[in-house]
Structure 1
């Protein structure tokens, strides 16, 4: 991972690069009807609740030094093909919500360890907002929200060794090229299976067709704090890796996307994904649990 001061912000922002063509217009009747019918069918068929694999390390703590959350509208039928049977897309305005997360963590350590003992690292994840059904303590049906992370990448070797072995979350090694300032971040990464780049600057202006306000987008991401992902030996009906993020200091700011592209999204059917919005986080202490 390399770090260098970002170049000065140009007078006029470069146009964002979209992942293939756009979806149908937001809230279009065919897409919305298909999505609602699909979700209802899954519930009626009694889709099983996801099961979390158990790991020896109970919790980790860290500080989110910088996190970019770049959100996409995703065709719900395409989203379903990317999910295990126990999860379904979380729909907003008839669309699934997917994203590309670029994050730098500091002071990563077992939750009970002292802060100065932690390590620092850069990572990237592709994610899809999901819902699933559970039963509460009284046996009542409830709907939970979170994300499914089909693939994660890390600049450091350590997470690729322990991920999926002693702590949830299989990580793949990638090369990262980073340029950060307090108001703008550029992240490019390359791995054998996927490549991507995002260039986001902090702004006071909110722009999204999925969420009316930045607070709506913030609440959607904060409430979906449980992340499911494949294990190293995932198969039909097998347990999934599970990480739950907890913080008392959640805060985001709007981001303006100057450039964004990911081979994960461009590999999907033409017209199935479109860039929608960006959120930026800085200096947020957090803790990961290993149960939903």
Structure 2
């Protein structure tokens, strides 16, 4: 039997990494994680599109669960943030049986209040791939109402830092219906909540967007992938006084960074 102890919820310092947009390339998991071996990882975030199109249980096991167990999951937990590709395929509806985190939530850990948004599909609900059997527009509206309450909560306001993870970025993600809906609904609330960091994927183009008082008041870091040369791993360290982010490409080169002190 393998066991591990979860992070002390009162830890004064927190370190974690983000992977995104692997698209059924299980070899990327150990490759990218091995680029930051010296960093103590309290947990790993998978920020969407780890799969491409869900077909069966074997795909989930071979392309994600086994690589995680063999690489880190015997000692370190992970958190799964659903991407738009996780909504596709006949096995997509089975996700809750394998992953606890498949929708939106918020939790506090050490100096951070984490907010996870489930941005849904980037296509219209009426697109032929769904033919009207989904309702992501209503789902995002429901989340926006929930987020409005979350940013006013005591746990959110008292945190040293507030970090949001959402697969489709709230900005800079194109003109498709889903991204535009995310911008309309979530971007004003993220600005109002004085969020300290947003971590996303989806675009397959890594980029660090600095805060802009005329647009996104928060830093927005978008991971790359999935092809060789475009994959990234994003490492985050947070204390009660400082937040530091480093993004590496799959050759281990630093391709982005951000640092901020507590407001």
Please give the range of the TM-score, normalised by the shorter of the 2 chains: under 0.3
More helix per residue? 2
State which structure, 1 or 2, has the greater radius of gyration over its C-alpha atoms. 1
Q: What is the TM-score when the length of structure 2 is the normalising length?
A: 0.25
